[in-house]
Amino acid sequence: MLEPIEIDLTGLKSQFNLTNEIIDKMTETCVDLVTSAIYYQWANLAKEKLKSTLPTYLQNLNIIDKGRFAKQIVLTGKFPEMIENGAAPFDMKEGFKNSKYVKYTVPVYNKNGRMISPGGQWYLTIPFRQGTPGIVGQAGFANEMPQEIYDVIKQKPSNSPLKSSEIPSPYDVPQSRAAIIDEKTKSTVYEEYIHKSSIYEGLTKVAAAYEKTTQNTYMSFRRVGANSDPLAFIHKGLIAQHFANKAIQQINVDTIVENQVKMFLDKIL
């Protein structure tokens, strides 16, 4: 946890013969200015570094008013905190199964009424928005489809999924996730995983109307559930960003306070 920043202007009271009311007003203003400066620097650092995770991160970064002379910048949410502080490789399925959008399979019977499957197993359909070529670094996209894929999908009718036979080489070949190695012990944390199909299979153009124009977005969907391959949906881990520490280091609190105090004193003395 970061150490709190304290702003104490009580020494100015006797030095300039100031009232408690003036000291309180100066302190309140300095607290607001320092908090805002750190908050915006923190947010700017995130904007420079993050891509698709930026909206979620910023939505969970807030200033909390704890009184006239106390403000707190808090980052909430498990994933934003993992971005900030880092995380070891982990199985994303553990989080997916707790989603409010999870559904459960129903019992399946054969024609004789015998139960084939009891049902009750969780599953979740996850949408992925695919960026068009050249969009990385814009609008929060982390991935963009290759030009060859875009040339095919943009010609297809809306809501018509891309078939495996329509995917040009080499993108029709299932990709793989390399084995995840612990950098300290050099041991394998998770083995290599090969996708069951091309990541572009099922890619769909979705047309959405915005006022008088129509804008196309491109979505793909992946199903995850209790029966998913144990090695599927493994996150390789996150390197700690420490935006908070960096923001505080880059903001000169003393200069902000000194400048604000000088402005106050110039007005009243």
Q: How far is CA 117 from the centre of its chain?
A: 37
Distances in Å between the Cα of 103 and the Cα atoms of 119, 129, 224 are: 11, 21, 11
| Pairing relationship of beta strands 180-181 and 115-117 according to DSSP bridges | unpaired
What whole-number distance in Å separates Cα of residue 224 and Cα of residue 230?
11
The percentage of residues in the chain with a pLDDT greater than 70, rounded to a whole number, is 95
Q: What is the mean pLDDT of each run of 10 residues along the chain (269 residues)?
A: 90 91 95 97 96 92 94 96 96 94 94 91 92 68 83 94 95 95 92 94 86 82 94 95 97 96 87
Neighbours of 184 (CB within 10 A): 6
For residue 240, the model assigns a pLDDT of 96
- What is the Cα–Cα distance from 87 to 240, expressed in whole angstroms? 7
pLDDT digits (tens, 9 = 90+) for 167-196: 999 999 999 999 999 988 999 999 999 999
- Percent of the chain with pLDDT strictly greater than 90: 78
pLDDT digits (tens, 9 = 90+) for 18-32: 999 999 999 999 999
Taking the C-alpha atoms of residue 254 and residue 211, their distance in angstroms, rounded to an integer, is 49
> Tokens 């949408």 identify what position?
127
